[in-house]
Structure 1
Amino acid sequence: MVAAGHSGDPARWRETFDGLMARIAGPFRRVEPRRRAHAFVLGLLADLPRKNCWTIAGHAGDRGAGGMQHLLRKAMWNTDAVRDDIRTIAVERLGNTDAILVVDETGDVKKGVCSVGTQRQYSGTAGRIEYTQVGVFLTCTTAAGHTLIDRELYLPASWTCDPARCGVAGLPRTRCSRRRPCWPSA
């Protein structure tokens, strides 16, 4: 099995992949989410026409998307520690004086207003104003390759100025206290 866009010896690729996944195993408290994360990342790297919990679960041999959705929504693992481990690996493998950091924001169109950070705003993804959730991503890029090294969900003032809404969504107080100016509605 070789990831999309990668060529060479599949056995060597898989050995390297397994070794890298072993390096980020520490933040997973239990073996089940660790294994599920391994399968999830393999699905992300696979040549699938669409990538969502259903298609990735199918690629992993699961009967439904519940396990992948559980990994992303409820399983206990330290996402910041995984990010830090990936950043360390990226610096080891990609870091050099020619490295550049790329900041990108991506809007994901949402059907409702309950997803954290969603509000009506312009989305380049949709090409118009829609209910959108915006993520900001930091990538390290070199001639040798690139990798995501940080991420943050953008919280607009419609969220940060509404502590009750943040509480219902389960956001920590420290996250919602990073306020931008809250202007009264016109």
Structure 2
Amino acid sequence: MFAPLVRRDQREKGAFYLRGLLLAGRRKSMQPMAERLGIDHQQLQQFMTSSTWPVGDVRARLAWRAVRVVRPQVWVVDDTGFPKDGTASPGVARQYSGTLGKVGNCQIGVSVHAASDTASCPLSWRLFLPTAWDTPKAAARRRACRIPDGERHRPKWELALEMLDELDGHGLRPAALVADTGYGANADFRHGLEDRGLAYVLQAKGEMTAHAEGCEPHQPAYGGLGPRPLPRYRTRPLSLRGHVLAAGRHHGRTLTWRKGSKAAMSSHFVLLHVSLAGRFSIRWMRSGPA
């Protein structure tokens, strides 16, 4: 994992740190890990906080190793909350956490995971900085956390696209990418995936509107003055929930995808072809309870 590091002491400390993460024990901070390893915790502290080493090279090796082991059918874009008690951790703020299931004091990490039916492993990750960390009031906290001046708040979908580009630069691309509605409802994220030629299956909100299959935008004639008019649809779009209800239950199929802890996981799906913002393709839409 740390073979790209030039200095021998960095490789040794990196191996200590990695071993500390893998050993038994719930607490993975420096001192508990050092006690389990039988070394001075300052070695781990110095390696992680002040030693300069190429993070990108290590991440690339980790990503390739994960892909070889997991053999993913899909990549998953998601974000995870890490509950915190104080205000000193970088990026900590009161924000929604899926881990907590509510708004709480936490950090948010955005990740791209390789996933199969039996395993999952992060290929890359980014710390999400809330807008509060861009204000003058956060200057002292930014200095204490050593956050570079160029690192500012960016939306989660933008961090996800950046990671996909980074992984593509390492020669890694997903067979398909999946994400929940936090990403699927974002048109910029969908367009970014399509511009990169990536296949995807994204959750969408039922309130989102779309045009039915066969509807083509009309190009109004140009009158010769001002900017040329953009193409527009002659009919109003319908919500995705409305499209499913209009198709009817007889249009759907009950599918079982795997066996859960209690019973087989199945639901009723309707396959429709709709146009969302002019750039949306075939999707399965679940119309019944999970």
**Superposed pair shares fold, TM > 0.5:** yes
Paired residue total: 154
Is the deviation greater in 64-73 or in 151-160? 64-73
Is residue 66 of structure 2 the alignment partner of residue 115 of structure 1? Answer: no
Shift of the 143–117 alpha-carbon distance from structure 1 to 2, 3 Å rule, reads same
Q: Does 1:43 align with 2:43?
A: no
State the 1:147 CA deviation.
2.3
Secondary structure at the counterpart of residue 115 of structure 1: coil
Structure 1: gaps spanning 5 or more residues: 1-20, 181-186
CA RMSD, aligned part only? 2.9
In the superposition, the TM-score normalised over structure 2's length comes to 0.45
Q: Give the structure, 1 or 2, with the largest relative contact order (CA under 8 Å, sep 6 or more).
A: 1
Overall identity of the aligned pairs, in %: 28
Matches within 5 A, 1:156-167: 156-162=130-136, 165=139
Instruction: Quote the residue 1:133 is aligned against.
Output: 107
Query: In 1, Cα distance between the equivalents of 2:119 and 2:155?
Result: 36
Match in the other structure for 1:153: 127
Q: Please, what TM-score do these two structures have when normalized by structure 1?
A: 0.67
Matched, 1:106 2:84: no
- Pair member with larger Rg: 2
SS in 2 for 1:158: helix
* Cα offsets for 1:2-45 (capped at 9, x unmatched): xxxxxxxxxxxxxxxxxxx3xx321x342222112212212222
* Match status 1:58 vs 2:35: yes
Work out whether 1:81 is the aligned partner of 2:46.
no
Q: Give 2:266's aligned residue.
A: none
**Worse-superposed segment, 77-86 or 28-37:** 28-37
> Which is further off, 84-93 or 153-162?
84-93
Cα-to-partner distance string for 1:34-61 (whole Å, 9 max, x where unaligned): 1122122122222224332222212221
